[in-house]
Amino acid sequence: MAVHDDCIFCKIANHVIESDYVYEDDLVAAFRDMSPLAPTHVLVVPKDHYADLDDGVPAQTAAALLHAAEEVAKAEGITKSGFRVVSNSGADAGQAVGHLHLHVLGGRRLTDDFA
């Protein structure tokens, strides 16, 4: 498995460091953002390391990420009220952590220009 020793999200996704998990399957893990911008703010990450969406992500992994985002929204009870899925890739998007992740946000009216 392509896990990087110096990557915090690799460590969380593979339970080297534990976090507050919301969902997990063979390919991805979802855990709560440490600086939440909404009542629900969960990060969905692949267990293998990809820098961002432009890093040769296999279709199966991309599908697993989106599937997990929906599972998170269901578990959080925000499918009816609405939710947002965002992935920042690269400098102009303000990507701070260099391991592909989806933000799943909800639980309030999202009017701002986030994330």
Q: Which residues bind ligand AMP (CB under 6 A)?
A: 8, 19, 33-35, 43, 88, 94-97
CA atoms of 48 and 4, how far apart (whole Å): 8
In sequence order, what are the beta bridge partners of 43?
31, 103
CA atoms of 16 and 37, how far apart (whole Å): 26
CB nearer to ligand AMP: give 61 or 87: 87
What count of other Cβ atoms lies within 10 Å of the Cβ of residue 44?
28
CA within 13 Å, CB half, 20:
9
CB nearer to ligand AMP: give 12 or 78: 12
- E strand or H helix at 72, and its extent? helix 59-76
Residues annotated as part of the active site: 101
The type of residue at 71 is E
CB nearer to ligand AMP: give 8 or 85: 8
What is the token pair recorded at 19?
């976090």
